[in-house]
Amino acid sequence: MLNMKYTYRGLFTLIICFSLACSSEQNNKYRDLNKNGRMDTYEDITQPVEARVNDLLNQMTIEEKAGTMFIEGTLVNEDGTIDKKEDAAGFASILPSAVENIRERNINHFNLWEIPGSKELVFGVNAIQKEAENSRLGIPVSISSDPRHHFSDNIYTQSAKFFSQWCETPGFAAIGDEDLVREFAEIARREYLAVGIRQALHPQFDLATEPLWARINGTFGEDAQLTAKLAKAYIEGFQGEQLDSNSVACFSKHWPGGGPQNKGYDPLFTFQEGQIYPGNNFDHHMIPFEAAFEANTAGVMVFYGVPVDQTEENVGMAFNKTIVTSLLREKYKYDGIVITDWGLITDQDLGGFIWPARAWGDEDLSEKERVKKVIMAGVDQFGGEHRPELVVQLVNEGELTEARIDESVKRLLHQKFQLGLFDNPYVDVDEVVEKVGRPEYVAAGFSSQRRAMTLLKNEEKILPLGGKLKIYVRNIDNAIAAQYGTIVDNPADADVAILRIKTAWYPVDTENPLAQVFHHGDLDFKGEAKQEILELLKTVPTIVDIYLDRPAVIPDISGHAQALLANYGASDAAVLDVIFGKAQPEGKLPFELPSSMKAVRDQLTDVPYDSKDPLYPFGFGLSY
């Protein structure tokens, strides 16, 4: 075998480019990159993946191996470039650029954050791949992303921008249609592929058993069996029967289930109080993951949370050998990639505020000691970190064997080969317009928003509305609402009012700027906000639509509303289509709506649908 870069990519890429008569600027650049005469034989390229992995591994230095074990966030600038701008703000200002991480740290996995337009994104992704190809061994980059296909304004879902926009995952659970979930996943896969995203840092299989938890809008609700059923369809749609050049690899999260957070406080932050299991229901939370294993999920992300008194030591999941090795590797025989959630090793300076690493239970360990413990727990890759020098140091000092590092790097390289990245990591900018945001994709996403809507109350069967009505709207675009009725400015002059609201939340008292926008706190409306809503409901017959990113506590609002609808990420037009009978509400609640905050606090954190006398039970939903 020839020990030189492009060993694995050169000739095959030339064959692909010439056979397709590539004409775009990006493809011409890519073709030129490989006209260097340094390539292996075609027979080598057609060897089994395992042989190619072993050959490449034997050529890698410990520094190159260590770099492969890290995945860091990056972005593409509005003009499609990837260098850090002098005026960079936010996380972009504190993180190294992709170029720097490739050249100085040998990192070849990146998580996309902010993105520009679709064509500019492709330019940026190709620029990242070009930079990687110019490295010593030319190892291609695996580009990943958090969910980007949902109609959402929440912190955990990246902006959909030019992708099709679907209901959030609780909406899929409300519909309960495996075929729809598979269709969604297949469309999202095609759109990801068109822009070069090859790893999905989703789906989220946590069970929403603690109503206060801030990440419920990323789950499939609180029912384990329903989540498991939809999990398989989701993974199958993204990955196919097996990983190949048409797949997007799914990283199922958050092992072994992150739903039962004490008081709902997310373990991303220092005020977390651990995952608790007062109902002795630890195993129940792994049911969706068992379905993910059956569907051959390509990866598993281990959570921050501390499984209080469930293992020998109360430390975060990724530091916990019982959770990763004994449970995941040995009991479930899982041999795919295991990655940490983001930021377990290094404190981050957020413009003056120091955000501590999420090393819960192991805060006193040094950064090097944290890295060693995570690797020895059985994890393959560190999320949101760029510290490969610590791995190198551990090996050089004899605290970790290179054989243990090889074990993880083999898994990471194997997936790159399976996805075809060594054969052609580039994407064609000319195909983006054709493959992303197609009208039929957009229409399918819009349909899911409408289908997921859940009718909770319909007094005197006021819905669907009909005729030429005078309507008063609040929190709805007047221009859109005017297509359904005559808009009036005074609710007293209206035949009916339509009010859109969101589940209440209250910021935690913290200096962490990210924590301040997470939806923590009570689920009921209070004070002036509540009175303002009730005043409208008492003035005119009102249809209330509420966005359920968490299970809202709304007994007074429900009692005074003429009709009550719930959505899980929906546009004004989608909501109004249902209200005016252009579409049917098909949703059934994917979690119960508690009757009071006392009921929320009295229920068991780890047990589904167990609050006393819920206002609306799990699975409730009316129809026209």
Query: What letters, b where the CB count within 10 A reaches 16 and e where it falls short, cover 482-503?
Result: eebbeebeebeebbbbbbbbbb
Cα dist from 422 to 45, 56, 128, 190, 577, whole Å: 9, 11, 14, 20, 47
Distance of CA 490 to the CA centre of its chain: 41
Known catalytic residue: 341? yes
Query: Could you tell me the two tokens for 413?
Result: 């390289």
- Burial label, 100 (beta-carbon count in 10 A; 0-12, 13-18, 19+): middle
User: What CA–CA distance (Å, rounded) separates 614 from 286?
Assistant: 25
pLDDT at 420: 98
Cα dist from 235 to 239, 289, 421, whole Å: 6, 11, 20
Residues of the chain with pLDDT under 50: 1-43
pLDDT at 352: 83
The phi-psi region of residue 420 (left if phi > 0; otherwise alpha if psi is between -120 and 50; otherwise beta) is left
Judge contact between 525 and 491, C-beta under 8 A.
no
pLDDT at 45: 58
pLDDT at 154: 56
pLDDT at 201: 98
List the catalytic residue out of 341, 524, 572, 606: 341
* Cβ-based neighbours of 598, under 8 Å, separated by 6 or more: none
User: What CA–CA distance (Å, rounded) separates 207 from 604?
Assistant: 13
pLDDT at 605: 98
From the CB of residue 478, how many other CB atoms can be counted at a distance below 10 Å? Answer: 10
Model pLDDT for residues 181-236, shown as the tens digit of each residue: 999 999 999 999 999 999 999 999 999 999 999 999 999 999 999 999 999 999 99
User: What CA–CA distance (Å, rounded) separates 265 from 214?
Assistant: 7
pLDDT at 64: 98
Judge contact between 487 and 481, C-beta under 8 A.
yes
Orientation of helix 49-59 relative to helix 402-418, angle to 10°:
130
Task: Please give the backbone phi and psi of residue 404, each rounded to the nearest 5 degrees, phi first.
Answer: -65, -40
pTM of the model: 0.92
* Cβ-based neighbours of 562, under 8 Å, separated by 6 or more: 457, 459, 460, 462, 496, 537, 541, 542, 543
Domains and CATH numbers, the chain: 1-30+75-139 (no CATH), 445-602 (3.40.50.1700)
Nearest Cα to 259, choosing from 224, 233, 234? 224
pLDDT at 14: 34
